[in-house]
């Protein structure tokens, strides 16, 4: 910035010339202030935190956000429809809005559902057991 010396009597001998020098200096200072203000207002130059109560449209932004609304619904009143699908060796609990749960066949070392072959083996064994003990 190149300010004009307004107290130079030899250059500014009339009030008009002195006012022009003041006006020129004012214009340069004004432009410098606008540049500094623009940088200060730019969000990229902000640091620190801001409380939610000072954000005028925060509630509206949250209310209109589908992801936020979906997560809010998950915490509260959720109606989940469950159904069951069976195979010969597993049971699947099907969720209408979540992950399905598959319960596999029980083994000698892990609990689970009884498969159709295990049921047949059990009922066949029980039938032969009762036949042997009949008198």
The model's pTM is 0.36
Domain annotation covers residue 73 = no
Mind listing the pLDDT tens digit of every residue in the chain (135 residues)? 555 555 555 555 667 776 777 777 777 777 777 777 777 777 777 777 778 888 888 888 877 777 777 665 555 556 788 889 988 888 999 988 888 999 999 888 988 888 888 888 887 766 555 555 555
Residue 102 is predicted with a pLDDT of: 92
Place of tokens 């620190």: 48
Domain annotation covers residue 61 = no
Residue 103 is predicted with a pLDDT of: 92
Task: Look at residues 95, 114, 112, 116 and name the one whose alpha carbon lies nearest to residue 104.
Answer: 112
Query: What does the alpha-carbon distance between residue 26 and residue 20 come to, in Å, rounded to a whole number?
Result: 10
Q: Which residues contact 103 (CB under 8 A, 6 or more apart)?
A: 90, 91, 92, 93, 112, 113
Domain annotation covers residue 8 = yes
Domain annotation covers residue 57 = no
Counting the structural domains of the chain, the total is 2
Domain annotation covers residue 90 = yes
Q: Which residues contact 28 (CB under 8 A, 6 or more apart)?
A: 1, 2, 3
Domain annotation covers residue 67 = no
Domain annotation covers residue 1 = yes
Whether 84 contacts 103, CB under 8 Å: no
- Partners of residue 102 on adjacent β-strands: 92
Strand order, beta sheet including 90-95 = 82-86, 90-95, 101-104
Instruction: Give the structural domain span for 125.
Output: 82-133
């Amino acid at each position: 910035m190149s300010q004009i010396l307004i107290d130079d009597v030899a250059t500014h001998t009339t009030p008009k010339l002195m006012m022009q020098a003041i006006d020129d200096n004012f214009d340069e200072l004004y432009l410098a202030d606008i540049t500094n203000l623009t940088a200060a207002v730019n969000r990229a130059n902000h640091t620190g935190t801001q409380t939610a109560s000072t954000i005028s449209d925060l509630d509206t932004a949250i209310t209109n956000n589908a992801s936020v609304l979906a997560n809010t619904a998950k915490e509260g009143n959720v109606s989940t429809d469950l159904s069951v699908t069976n195979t010969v060796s597993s049971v699947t609990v099907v969720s209408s809005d979540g992950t399905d749960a598959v319960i596999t066949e029980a083994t000698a070392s892990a609990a689970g559902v009884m498969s159709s072959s295990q049921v047949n083996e059990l009922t066949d064994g029980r039938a032969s057991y009762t036949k042997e003990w009949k008198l």
